[in-house]
Amino acid sequence: MIEVDHLVKLYGAERAVNDISFEVKQGEVLGFLGPNGAGKSTTMKTITCYLPPTEGTVRVDGRDVRTDGLEVRRRIGYLPEHTPLYTDMVVRDYLAFMARMRGVDPGDVRDRIRDMAARCGLESVLHKQIDTLSKGFRQRVGLAQAMIHNPPILILDEPTTGLDPNQIVEIRELIRSIGQEKTVILSTHILPEVQASCDRVLIIHRGNLVADGTPGELQAGYQGAQTVHIRVDADARAVWQVLAPLEGVEVAHQEQDAEGWTHCVVSTREKADLRPELFRLAVENGWTLAELYRDEADLEDVFRQLTSN
């Protein structure tokens, strides 16, 4: 649905986007990540025809953004970071206006407003003026205007900025349901949102594409040192004598609490999973095993590794 091929965008001498290429398949939910100023919004504005590319090509559903921009716009619903609302309008009137602007058949406008109100949870505020709405409801109105013309592609730039935790969960659930039927590009700094919602992740840094894969692939690829925690009902010295000789393993931390439980943190740079070996040693030494778990790299760890100076 979206093909970005060697895209470059210059602002004067500044190279905001530096020769990036990627594709987004139909029905895919793509998380687009990067620090502030990395080039995310510029890339999305180029895809949506708000900005022309300096070099390279961008195609949306086979249409080139340079030569067929109007058809590209018809196929995209766009929610920029700062939601474009006319706050002095009533929600129903605003959605009707946006439907007409997007070329929705006049006979279908009422049904489209009804559908969007149900989909985005706006039935209770259709009669209200937009400037009286909470931040969460304004974001819902922004999503409704992006989908009012039923586009096959949605591009959402920081859709949960400024929302409280309950509102974030509500918008996340809405995005997940939308992703079942549309192609979605989601830009956000809230990484659990990406893990919960996205099929694939792109990370951009200083205008360069530095990672592309599923959340699981990225986490596995940047795992680094393996760290395992074990808590057993045994004397700390006895535990250390058993674990310390293990080849390639370092006992990074060990403590014994007042009840006699010993907690050890062991680490290794080997890819093999330490947990089966530690379980075997606990059984052989007659230790009661209370905890045995491995630290997992998450998207936040991957993001920091790829975008730190």
Beta bridge partners of 203: 33, 211
- Confidence check: pLDDT of 35 > 70: yes
Beta bridge partners of 8: 18, 55
Taking the C-alpha atoms of residue 281 and residue 9, their distance in angstroms, rounded to an integer, is 58
- Confidence check: pLDDT of 100 > 80: yes
pLDDT score of 178: 81
* 106 DSSP 8-state letter: G
Tens digits of residue pLDDT in 274-305: 889 899 999 999 999 999 988 876 777 788 88
Local confidence band at 223 (pLDDT 50, 70, 90 cut-offs)? low
Other residues' Cβ atoms within 10 Å of the Cβ of residue 36 = 7
Q: Token pair 């706006």 is at which residue?
A: 122
Tens digits of residue pLDDT in 55-92: 999 999 999 999 999 999 999 999 988 887 999 999 99
Tens digits of residue pLDDT in 143-174: 899 999 999 999 998 887 767 788 778 777 87
3 state DSSP class of 301:
helix
- List the one residue out of 45, 48, 38 whose CA is nearest residue 17: 38
Strand 261-268 and strand 250-256: the pairing is antiparallel
Taking the C-alpha atoms of residue 80 and residue 103, their distance in angstroms, rounded to an integer, is 20
* Domains of the chain, first to last: 2-214 (3.40.50.300), 226-301 (3.30.70)
CB 297 within 8 A of CB 224: yes
- Confidence check: pLDDT of 225 > 90: no
Local confidence band at 307 (pLDDT 50, 70, 90 cut-offs)? confident
What DSSP line would sit under 170-225, residue for residue? HHHHHHHHHTTTSEEEEE-S-HHHHHHH-SEEEEEETTEEEEEE-HHHHHHHT--S
Average pLDDT, the chain: 88
